[in-house]
A and B are shown apart, each in its own frame.
Chain A
Amino acid sequence: MYEFRFDVVWQYLPYLARGVWITIWVTLASTGIGLVLGIVIAVLRLSSNPILSMPMRAYIEFFRNTPTLVKLVWVFYLIPILFGLKTEALTSCIIAMAVSAAAYIAEVVRAGIQDVPRGDIEAAEAVGMTPMTVLRRIVLPQALRKVLPPLANTFIVFLKYSSLVSVVGVNDLMYRANVISTTTFRPIETYTVLAFFYFVLCYGLSKAFSRFEARMAVDV
């Protein structure tokens, strides 16, 4: 019978906990950039001009259909070669995750934009708003409110994806757990504690989104 020894892992807890900030930072930075990029991509994707929409389709398909881990490693090794820049592992991870997140978020936002009632747009045009104003004041505020639930989902998925950054040596939660596990030879205990950490983070994020959604719902 296996004897669980959580006390061995316990002494490494402060070390593990410091990884929380790295994990949060990677997630927030990449989904934040991904959100902005994703909105731009979604808008261009819906353009009637194929010169604008076709590259966005290609972008979405390419980044949606390649593994995030592959992109991480790819960006990590490719940026120094392409641009001669020596990027920090953390930076290249954020870039790789942001471009992936943008592809998913673009599709979510596109669905939201297409769901905005045609009549709302006509009413905005009828008062003389320019297309840019219609987008900024009428279309996007409604679209983003509507897609908050799937957007929350994407954010949570990317919080979990952030564990991949350990592969290129960013000392996030996952990386630290690996270190603890190989130091203590207690993988089961270590990863159980790790899972608990991720659960608390993800659950907190989803709760935060629910509250935000509820506040926005008053508006709808």
Chain B
Amino acid sequence: MLAMTATTAASSAAHEQGVERAAARDADRAMLVVRDLHKYFGHVYALRGVDLSVRKGEVVCVLGPSGSGKSTLLRCINFIETPTSGQIFIDGRPIVGDSDDHAGKDRKRKSICAIRSEIGMVFQHFNLWSHMSVLGNVIEGPIQVRKLPREQAVEIGTRLLAKVGLSDKVNERPTRLSGGQKQRVAIARALAMQPKLILFDEPTSALDPELIGEVLDVMNDLAHEGMTMVIVTHEIGFARAAGTRVVFMDQGVVVEEGTPREVFDEPKQERTQRFLRSMLRYAP
């Protein structure tokens, strides 16, 4: 309405306001909105204005050569890396830098913790806590962050470990598990927080080829249950089967995005074509 009253404003400004409103609507519908995200590591310009919108229940696979900023994007979404600039909305709520005074910083820290507890994260190298049992890893978040009573957390943890097929490993130490088992524990750990969204950072890249399937199966089940997922991966077969959308990144920007069919079968950008050719050179 304000834009309407400002009749003297240049039409470009009015147009910008319109874009802003549309973006805000977008943020209402979407589980995750990333807008104009930039990230510098010292002089390295890792993200050069990334926009991404993920609706509830979508499975977005992010592909791209190493150094393209895929992982950085994921790590910025839950503030494991602090973005240099840009905005992120989770379920319509913004994560933004508050004022820089002490109280403002404290508010920001608290809001980041709250947001993180709603976003699951699965890492390439599992990052399980080696001083705890498998079950301990899964129930730690619910107990420490959600303040659930222990019995309730154990119940959830036991159920989730059964879901990922590890009922017999509940009391085992993470170091005694195979890579595939570790990653399934990590997925159960993320699920235990009942997240609105799970981020997967190359979840199968550190696994023996033989163990990749068991992890992808679990992820595929999640996708079919309607979990919203953003997956950085090199598994084109999985992206095609389980992904609802594919995003191709290079040099810190989104080069191309679309359905798996669009991106894999009819890539429009030369860079995407080149990447897929090299990926599929020895494909069966």
Whether A128 contacts B141 in the complex (CB less than 8 A), given A123-B121, A219-B173, comes out as: yes
Number of residues on chain B facing chain A (CB within 8 A): 31
> What are the 4 A-B residue pairs with the smallest beta carbon separation, nearest first?
A128-B117, A127-B141, A119-B127, A126-B121
Chain A 115-130 interface mask (CB, 8 Å, partner B; 1/0):
0010110111111111
Name which residue of chain B comes closest to A144, CB basis. Answer: B131
Name which residue of chain A comes closest to B115, CB basis. Answer: A128
**Complex formed: what's the CA distance from A141 to B136 in Å?**
13
CB of A138 closer than 8 Å to a CB of B? yes
Whether A126 contacts B129 in the complex (CB less than 8 A), given A119-B123, A219-B173, comes out as: no
Chain A interface residue bracket vs B = 20 to 34
List residues 108-154 of chain B with CB under 8 A from any CB of chain A. 109, 113-121, 123, 125-132, 140-141, 144-145
CB of A220 closer than 8 Å to a CB of B? yes
Tell me whether chain A's interface is mostly helix, strand or loop, or mixed: helix
A126 in contact with B80 (CB, 8 Å):
yes
A220 in contact with B175 (CB, 8 Å):
yes
CB of B189 closer than 8 Å to a CB of A? yes
Q: Residues of A contacting B123 with CB < 8 Å?
A: 119, 122-123
CB of B193 closer than 8 Å to a CB of A? yes
B141 in contact with A117 (CB, 8 Å):
no
Name which residue of chain A comes closest to B80, CB basis. Answer: A122
A120 in contact with B80 (CB, 8 Å):
no
Whether A126 contacts B113 in the complex (CB less than 8 A), given A142-B130, A219-B131, comes out as: no
Which one, B114, B116, B125, contacts A125 given CB within 8 A?
B116
B127 in contact with A142 (CB, 8 Å):
no
Q: Residues of A contacting B115 with CB < 8 Å?
A: 128
**Complex formed: what's the CA distance from A130 to B108 in Å?**
12
**Complex formed: what's the CA distance from A138 to B193 in Å?**
17
CB of A133 closer than 8 Å to a CB of B? yes
Which one, B109, B117, B128, B173, contacts A127 given CB within 8 A?
B117
List residues 95-140 of chain A with CB under 8 A from any CB of chain B. 117, 119-120, 122-130, 133, 137-138
Write the nearest CB–CB distance from A138 to chain B, whole angstroms.
6
A220 in contact with B131 (CB, 8 Å):
yes
A-B contact pairs, 25 of them (CB 8 A): A119-B125, A120-B127, A122-B80, A122-B123, A123-B121, A123-B123, A123-B127, A123-B129, A123-B189, A124-B129, A126-B80, A126-B121, A127-B193, A128-B114, A128-B115, A128-B118, A128-B145, A129-B141, A141-B131, A142-B129, A142-B130, A145-B131, A218-B173, A219-B131, A220-B175
Name which residue of chain A comes closest to B113, CB basis. Answer: A128
Q: Residues of B contacting A119 with CB < 8 Å?
A: 123, 125-127
**Complex formed: what's the CA distance from A86 to B185 in Å?**
59
Which one, B119, B125, B173, contacts A126 given CB within 8 A?
B119
Name which residue of chain A comes closest to B119, CB basis. Answer: A126
Instruction: Output the residue of A120, A123, A145 with the most chain B CB within 10 A.
Output: A123
List residues 202-219 of chain A with CB under 8 A from any CB of chain B. 218-219
What is B's interface to A at a CB cutoff of 8 Å? 78, 80, 109, 113-121, 123, 125-132, 140-141, 144-145, 173, 175, 186, 189-190, 193
Instruction: Output the residue of A123, A126, A128, A141 with the most chain B CB within 10 A.
Output: A126
Which one, A120, A130, A133, A218, contacts B129 given CB within 8 A?
A120
A117 in contact with B127 (CB, 8 Å):
yes
Which one, A122, A137, A142, contacts B140 given CB within 8 A?
A137
A129 in contact with B113 (CB, 8 Å):
yes
Name which residue of chain B comes closest to A121, CB basis. Answer: B127
Which one, A122, A130, A138, A145, contacts B113 given CB within 8 A?
A130
Name which residue of chain B comes closest to A128, CB basis. Answer: B117
Q: Residues of B contacting A219 with CB < 8 Å?
A: 131-132, 173
**Complex formed: what's the CA distance from A124 to B117 in Å?**
10
A133 in contact with B116 (CB, 8 Å):
no
**Complex formed: what's the CA distance from A138 to B136 in Å?**
12
B127 in contact with A127 (CB, 8 Å):
no
Write the nearest CB–CB distance from B83 to chain A, whole angstroms.
15
Q: Residues of A contacting B193 with CB < 8 Å?
A: 127-128
Q: Residues of A contacting B190 with CB < 8 Å?
A: 127
